A and B are shown apart, each in its own frame.
Chain A
Amino acid sequence: MTTAKAAAIILAKELRLEFRTRELLTATVIFALVVVVLFSFAFDPTAAESRRYGPGLLWIAFLFAGSLMLNPSFAREQNNETLDALRMAPISGFAILLGKILANFIFMSLAELVLLPVFAVLYNLSLTGIVSRLILVLVLGTLGLTVTGTVFSAISAHARMRELLLPLLLLPLLTPLLIAAVESTTSLFAEQPALDRTWLAFLAGFDIVFLTASWLLCDHLLEE
């Protein structure tokens, strides 16, 4: 079986599992919403201020939500030791990881799609005219977040206090991604919206570096 086909099957399994209950998605959206609302108490969200701080706030909410949402990705395979069953299947380790990365990418993107309009309304920012460019930034940023997050979820699944450990491993590593994503989102929310190509290239570079590293290291990650 090719890696792509095996990854598609894993992806379908993850999606079926999630859409039976939708609990992960609901919790993620609510959590990010709580963060966004809490930030409104930290500073006055008038239009000028929101242009300056809004993108940073939005990405921090995504990062926090992501570091919590990604945790069950491998941890829930531990309950019935289903990861052993997956490992025994005649598919490559990377197919398992890729399927999970894609599933997490879809969950995270769905949460972002729900949050973005709410955020724009609450912080009085206009999305008209920048939606397609914003989606490009979101896709690149979310890909980096889910690639590293899924790998670290496989790491933290074997540890005690895994819910606390995952953000500790993930958030410092994601600082370059945060800077690049915030900077490119800020330039889109400015008075004269522009797509910052340097930061966009940086985001793409981040994704490529860590996707390659996951591909090279996935067998060590999943070995028994």
Chain B
Amino acid sequence: MKARFAITALVALLIFCAGYAALFIAPDEATMHAIQRIFYFHVASWNAMFCAFFVAFCASVAYLVTGKRKWDALGVSGVEVGVMCCTIGLITGPLWARPVWGIWWTWDAKLTSTFILWLLFIAYLLLRGLVEDPEKKASLSAVFAIFASLDIPLVYLANRLWRTQHPQPVIAGGEGSGLDPTMSKVLLLCLFAVLCVMILVLVDRYRLELLRNEAAELRYEIESRGLDASNGQETPALQKGAQ
């Protein structure tokens, strides 16, 4: 418990430092000025989202291979946290685009792909809500998560072939690209800080899912014993439990 508190405090301090660095230490951008500072958290949230969805994909594969419930818990945690990061990215994007591009939204390859990604994983969460049987829920949502993950590169490729408006890669995009050294240091700090927040939330969500599973199992056990007891006979299992 103490260790968890210490880690949470450490991550809070880290994200505070990242926020301070993004607002006050990073140099002013030549054409976009203050609004460009949203970049440090916009890019960082996409980075965290990809990590979270990657965790979800690996956990889904692991669940189907091993059949252990903990992988299913990790899978749903990854998707939920990934959807959260995706939502942050989809909100900070238009906030940045409006003053810089002059529009809130454009149907460009990256925007469209992430929007579809968001819809796909919202559908995953809906699917989990609509399947009753826990075993079925776990295996079917794992199959869906794998299909959705396979679809991501295809969605991106299709949109890329079709139309794109996003800037060419700035950081490693060949000649003439590159960030100011201070900017890239701040970016790295922000990437790391947001990733740590994501992992912290993910681990907490995973613990919650395990506790929920345990609670559901206990409730099921109590209910099935209650049915036996109502027949007028106490089952050995109940007596054992009462001792």
Pair A217/B155 contact, Cβ less than 8 Å:
no
When the two chains form the complex, which single residue of A165, A206, A220 contacts B130, counting CB atoms closer than 8 Å? A165
CA distance A152 to B142 in the complex (A): 12
Residues of A within 8 Å of B126, CB to CB, are: 165, 168
Q: Is B7 an interface residue (CB 8 A)?
A: no
CA distance A96 to B64 in the complex (A): 20
Pair B162/A160 contact, Cβ less than 8 Å:
no
Q: Mark A211-224, 1 if CB is under 8 A from B, else 0.
A: 00100010011010
Pair A176/B64 contact, Cβ less than 8 Å:
no
Using a Cβ–Cβ cut-off of 8 Å, how many residues does chain A contribute to the interface with B? Answer: 32
Q: Is B43 an interface residue (CB 8 A)?
A: no
Residues of A within 8 Å of B148, CB to CB, are: 173
Residues of B within 8 Å of A27, CB to CB, are: none
Residues of B within 8 Å of A148, CB to CB, are: 147
Using a Cβ–Cβ cut-off of 8 Å, how many residues does chain B contribute to the interface with A? Answer: 30
Q: How many A-B residue pairs have CB under 8 A?
A: 79
Look across to chain A and name the residue whose beta carbon is closest to the beta carbon of B141: A155
Q: Mark B114-154, 1 if CB is under 8 A from A, else 0.
A: 00100110010011001111001001101110111011001
Q: Report A212 CB to chain B, min CB distance, Å.
A: 9
Q: Is A179 an interface residue (CB 8 A)?
A: yes
CA distance A71 to B84 in the complex (A): 30
Look across to chain B and name the residue whose beta carbon is closest to the beta carbon of A148: B147
CA distance A183 to B160 in the complex (A): 13
Look across to chain B and name the residue whose beta carbon is closest to the beta carbon of A218: B143
Q: Is A180 an interface residue (CB 8 A)?
A: yes
Interface centre among A148, A161, A162, A175 (most CB of B within 10 A): A175
If A176-B158, A220-B139 touch, whether A155 touches B151 (CB-CB below 8 Å) is: no
When the two chains form the complex, which single residue of B112, B123, B132, B157 contacts A169, counting CB atoms closer than 8 Å? B123
Pair A168/B143 contact, Cβ less than 8 Å:
no
Pair B120/A173 contact, Cβ less than 8 Å:
yes
Pair A221/B154 contact, Cβ less than 8 Å:
no
Q: Is B172 an interface residue (CB 8 A)?
A: no
Pair B132/A160 contact, Cβ less than 8 Å:
yes
Pair B139/A223 contact, Cβ less than 8 Å:
yes
If A210-B147, A220-B143 touch, whether A159 touches B130 (CB-CB below 8 Å) is: yes
- B:140-190 near A, CB below 8 Å: 140, 142-144, 146-148, 150-151, 154-155, 157-159, 161-162
Known pairs A156-B127, A165-B130. 9 more at Cβ < 8 A?
A: A155-B127, A158-B133, A159-B131, A176-B155, A199-B161, A202-B158, A217-B64, A220-B64, A220-B143
Q: Which 4 A-B pairs have the closest CB atoms?
A: A176-B158, A159-B130, A176-B154, A172-B119
- By a beta-carbon cutoff of 8 Å, the part of chain A in contact with chain B is 148, 151-152, 155-156, 158-162, 165, 168-169, 172-173, 175-176, 179-180, 183, 198-199, 202, 205-206, 209-210, 213, 217, 220-221, 223
